[in-house]
Structure 1
Amino acid sequence: MSTKATHPPDTPLYPIREVSRLTGVNSVTLRAWERRYGLICPQRTPKGHRLYAQDDIIRIERILQWLNRGVPVSQVADLLDQPETVEAPVPDAGDWASQRQQLLATIETIDLPRLEALYQQSLALYPLSMVINELWQPVVKTLEAKWAIEPDELVRRALEAFLRSQVGIRLHYANQATRGPLILLNAMPDDPGPLWMLMAALMASEQGYRVQLLDHTLPLAELPQAVKRLHCSMVLLTSGQREADDYVRRALPDTAKTLNVPLGVCGEVARLRDAELRDSDVHMLGDDLPQAIARLRPLLRESGIL
């Protein structure tokens, strides 16, 4: 079946921004699916603006279903018009395992032009939550486990610098384009770098939050003043480490009581320390970053901020 749009004249049509909001797929990815793979074919206004019908939205949801089953985006077109019971094909070189291997090798050889190409490609072809879950988060965990045994400061710092630059550019323009709540994001003191913080910043920005990053760990005692002066709606702390016992068991809960906004924790530390802080004023959001960021909106509503 052709993807050419042939909708009746009275069919409701939606602009790309609204379709992005409804499906969770950003506009860059929607355009890439159309141009590179012909997965969708929206109507166009006389000025060339894309307009999507309900059928297109349903098709986008089916694309997401196939991607979530591990099918590479290059194979989805052949499956969209097949019966729902058709089995997913055996993944080829475009599957997530292969992409993780490519990304790991590229990071460890410090091939920055290739790293930028892989980064941009992943964000263009897949929803960000999928990219974080299936690609970047597993790769960062693999690297941190390796670096715990064999430290490689050059590779770590090169990766951090790359992501700080890419994420910083994205945040600059995203913060200007939204009026969403401002999240103050900071790494915890034992975290050797900002990798978890940068991934969380990407996810938060994608979900419509404004994000304020701090390059260096801010002492907990200074958070109340930072919240007041920056007009933050929430503080989110990240770490890929266990963090010190006194910091987790005493300092964090005490600080949470002094803030007039929620204090959340995500990253590996949230998984490792969940039981210790579950009954405190600290909100443990887990180590799955897309899920952690998804929990912010209900939390802000419960706190009366939204």
Structure 2
Amino acid sequence: MDVASPSPSSSTGAPAALWAIADVERETGIGKDTLRVWERRYGFPVPRRDERGDRLYDADQLGRLRLIRRLLDAGHRPGRVVGLPREALEALAASAVVRGSVLLKRSPDDGGAPSGPAVDELAPWMAWLRHDQTLRLREALRESVRTRGLAQTVEAVVAPLCVAVGHAWLRGEIGVYQEHLFTEAVQATLREAIARTDEANPAGPRPPRVLLTTAPGEQHQLGLLMAECFLALEGCDRLPLGACTPVAEIIDASARTGADVVALSYSDYASRREVIDTVAQLREGLAATVELWIGGAGAVRDPRRLPPGVVVLRRAADAAAQVRLWRQRRGLA
């Protein structure tokens, strides 16, 4: 990290570090133009100026900006967090961590995610991630698929690891790049396993044809990929569209491809209003014969407010159960 210039001496006599705006952009991932807009709109950050008039940021502001970046990536909006004091930002981050810890401890009996390894059993996996041993992490995931099978790997390893990684990221224990490395390792491993599952199915894909995507603004795809694992194990015909597909495009794709089901995933950071609004638009726009399945922590938060005709999947494995029900209703079991 480049220190832009020393500030006046601190109480210890040592100059405090200051960062130029380019350094702050590199450290936080927040663009220079965005930082300038926030100054005018929210009154933060409040940089000092050097003799040339260039902005300089102290360590406290850099720390607050890092917290803000984590909260924005976790789904908070700039207007709600940018002007908050550090204590409030830390409290918001802590509440997200607590929420993740609760999810990690839930069992199928209480309607949450399936119970997986205890937190201490996740320690080696998290250590590999913290020490950038991505290949070791990927090897362990592949070994789990070989020994446990794909379904158990998703439920007992990947799902709790996702919560633990989110917990560590919100607390600043791992960097954004490490969270991305984890995501890539999981995605690569699960896609390899899905491909092998498809190859082992000589009969080829069977109905229902399931279109998988996320709504606009929902970047998180791991939940969708975990559900796809169970669809592959059931031999389903699948059409993954990736993330952030506009509602009108989802409706159009469903009609053009002859999808029987549209499946969406909402992370814990999706707002209730966003979930309800997009699901209502989809249910209204999709053909009545097309089922709408939604899953993820954001989907199960307030199911009673969802429109009729929407199936809520409380865990990835529920996708397999819904496939069997779909086939039974049509005499295809």
Fold shared per TM-score above 0.5: yes
Residues 184, 234 of structure 1: 8 Å contact kept: yes
Match of 2:156 in 1: 134
Residues 213, 224 of structure 2: 8 Å contact kept: yes
Match of 2:140 in 1: 118
Question: Is the partner of 1:228 in helix, strand or coil?
Answer: helix
1:211 & 1:99 partners in 2: Cα distance?
34
1:282 aligns to 2:324 (yes or no)? no
Q: CA deviation at 1:145?
A: 3.3
Q: CA deviation at 1:210?
A: 2.9
1:234 aligns to 2:272 (yes or no)? no
2:169 & 2:269 partners in 1: Cα distance?
15
Question: Is the partner of 1:96 in helix, strand or coil?
Answer: coil
State the Cα RMSD in Å.
2.7
1:180 aligns to 2:206 (yes or no)? yes
1:237 & 1:168 partners in 2: Cα distance?
18
Match of 2:88 in 1: none
Match of 2:166 in 1: 144
Match of 2:301 in 1: 272
Question: Is the partner of 2:239 in helix, strand or coil?
Answer: strand
Residue by residue over 1:286-306, the C-alpha shift from the partner in whole angstroms, topping out at 9 and shown as x without a partner, is 1x2113432233146548997
Match of 2:94 in 1: none
Partner of residue 291 from structure 2, selected from 262, 281, 285? 262
Question: Is the partner of 1:284 in helix, strand or coil?
Answer: strand
Cα separation, partners in 2 of 1:194 and 1:276, compared to 1, 3 Å: same
Residues 262, 303 of structure 1: 8 Å contact kept: no
**TM-score, reference length from structure 2:** 0.55
Residues 264, 285 of structure 1: 8 Å contact kept: yes
Residue by residue over 1:18-43, the C-alpha shift from the partner in whole angstroms, topping out at 9 and shown as x without a partner, is xxxxxxxxxxxxxxxxxxxxxxxxxx
1:284 & 1:117 partners in 2: Cα distance?
33
Residues 145, 193 of structure 2: 8 Å contact kept: no
Alignment of 1:1-306 (within 5 A): 96-97=117-118, 99-150=121-172, 152-172=175-195, 174-175=197-198, 177=201, 178-181=204-207, 182-260=209-287, 261-277=290-306, 280-286=308-314, 288-299=315-326, 301-302=328-329
Aligned residues: 210
Q: Which is greater in Rg?
A: 2
Residues 275, 299 of structure 2: 8 Å contact kept: no
**TM-score, reference length from structure 1:** 0.60
Question: Is the partner of 1:270 in helix, strand or coil?
Answer: coil
Match of 1:7 in 2: none
Q: What runs of 5+ residues in structure 1 fail to find an aligned partner?
A: 1-94
Q: CA deviation at 1:236?
A: 0.8
1:222 & 1:131 partners in 2: Cα distance?
33
Percent of residue pairs bearing the same amino acid type: 18
Residues 262, 300 of structure 1: 8 Å contact kept: no
